Chain A
Amino acid sequence: MTPNGAIAVAVMMIALLLSGPGPGGVAILLVLGLAFAVIEVRSASLIALRRAATVVLPLAAFMVLVWVGIVGRAPSEIAADMPGTRAAALLHVALICGRLFFIVAVIQLVVLRFAHLTPLQFIRALSLPAGAKRLLVLTLSLIETLRHAIDRAHVALIAAGTLTRRFSLRNVIHSWRLVQAVWLSAVTIALGRMRDKWPVENTLDLLDRALENSNRRLFAGNDRIWLPITMGAAAVILLADLFPGAS
């Protein structure tokens, strides 16, 4: 399966979920997602589910507090000007969080499907214009640069008595110095590369060559199975929504 195909399948599934399908449509999506997880991602699917839970459960707890604890009724009941029940509010939270869980899980499944590829290999496989690929590579590299600059500047600013290890008013006032130090060190590094290393080596040409996808086709391999299946599911779900009696 190619990254293009996996991303296309994921985007379609998420879009279908957001289109507000009925219970039948949701069931189809769940089966499709499960099949994709079992066939393409296998045991790593459990990691995807765990990551999705880690992200969504805290939000779910918070939503329960707000919707069930404070508001006490569902939005549909608010709109219909009804007194409402906490049970309906809980159902609303469950549906929203279920949807978010599915979205996060699908994204993580795609990430894990290609975990064996390096970032360069993954980006090479994407069908994007050269400039977009360059930008993606640069961004990922600069994120690493910033992350390490943050760590070193954090040590130095704590040593300088400007920041504290734990939350404090001092941090609120002076955190911008950390941001500034990190930004300026990153700018200095980038300027140095643009002035010296890249012009001398023509490094960006090397990058473009490394990112060139020799395989000209957009989709390949298992894409040719998953894409039609997903499109078929889309047709069924959308038609069922258009003609509720027909399914």
Chain B
Amino acid sequence: MGRRELIAGPNFSGRSAAMLALLRDGQFARECFYVGPYAEAALSGLSSIIADEIEIYRAKPASVGRAIFAPNDFELLGRREPQTLSGGEQVLLALHCFSLSSYGAVAIDTALEQLDPANRDAALGYLDPRKKLVATVALIDNRLPPPLLGWDCLELTPGTKDFDCDPGGVVSDLSQWKAPALAMRGLAFTYPRGRQIFHDVSLTLESGTAYRLAGPNGAGKTTLLKLLVGVLAPSDGEVTLGGARYRPWRDGNRAIALATQNPDHQWCGATLAEDLARRRAAFARETHPEFLAEQRIARLARSLGVHSLDAHLYELPLAARKRLSWLWPLCGALPWVMLDEPSIGQDLSTRLRLAAAIARLTALGYGVLFVTHDDDFAGRIPHRVLAIGERTIRATS
């Protein structure tokens, strides 16, 4: 049996640093394959198509008798750009490349959290010491509490209180607000190249309810989001907000506060102050000024672990940036809220408190849409499932 090291502890206990220190110590492994947090950190950054990513890592000559990890047929996708894959698929591609390579060891820093349950089980099965498919593994994963059979555990304690976080503090001063219902009538959308995503979708999303968007990749989750914030215009049908016609593709987004999966894609400035000043100006007509007043924002940021509005966003640790990305949707300025994989990279305590904050927001009457692969996290928020697929959307309990 090879070596298995699980590095556990809350956020900011130094797990990533401990993992890197372990990898630099020649005794763990001579050379190690590395899968970092977020999709972009899983791949090499040296390829522009999938076939090249595989080619770079493929052992020459090929390793005999080595188990290949291939939940998807990546050879078939060879000409596609890696970034057109979903985050989870990019992690699977990284593991596939590892299985083809000559590396004896792999280190994974929270990347498995992006996988849907089936693929996560497949990946964990591949890494299982009892199966002896991989020699040496170092793993950080917020959803795998120690002890783990066959794994050594390095348990770290919080080193600093600097980033202590309480998502509940962000929603604590909000009052009831019945968000207007978001309704779609006969909605249809086809991409210019001919791929029809939605056909005659009629659905009403009620306020005070959380909806979990579910569906396979390519089904239309991102397309729905782009339609609702006005990046895309439907080919047919209409959307109403509180009964009135709502055309964000013409008039701009008036209703939805979005937190993206990778927080770095949503910033409107280099500091939090710049970012929120921009949003304050953009939504001056839709929101009450006290939602985004400087004092309140400073307090909310402190609740999320950031003590200076002038801190350079990109110089904050990744987990802190992820938490800050919740500020805009949770501050309550807009009636509808959309969170894309909000709990990635967060420890158990933070995930529980985030789920509670989202549940409270819903209970206050806000409309909530969220995407997550973490069934446990989703289970803590009373919600309905919006099943997206086969060119339609169905709401189920």
Contacts and interface: CB of A to CB of B under 8 A. Distances in A.
A138 interface: yes
Contacts of B270: 180, 184
A203 B52 contact: no
B34 A159 contact: no
B49 interface: yes
Contacts of B45: 138, 141-142, 145, 189-190, 193, 197
Interface residues of B, number: 61
A192 B268 contact: no
Interface in A142-159: 142-145, 147-149, 152-159
A202 interface: yes
Given A206-B57, A207-B56, A177 B268 contact: yes
A239 B347 CA distance: 77
Contacts of A190: 45
Contacts of B267: 181, 184
Interface stretch (A16-24, A54-62, A161-169, A216-224): A161-169
A185 interface: yes
Given A201-B32, A201-B103, A164 B278 contact: no
Contacts, number: 161
B125 interface: no
A161 B279 contact: yes
A190 B36 CA distance: 12
B278 A177 contact: yes
Contacts of A160: 253, 258, 266, 268, 278-279, 282, 328
A69 interface: no
A181 B41 CA distance: 18
A81 interface: no
Among B82, B83, B109, B283, the one with the most A-chain Cβ atoms within 10 Å of its Cβ is B83
Contacts of B252: 158, 161, 164
A169 to B, nearest CB: 13
A225 to B, nearest CB: 30
Nearest to B266: A156
A165 B31 contact: no
Interface string B250-265: 1011001110101011
Given A157-B268, A159-B258, A181-B264, A192 B52 contact: no
A117 to B, nearest CB: 10
B49 A119 contact: yes
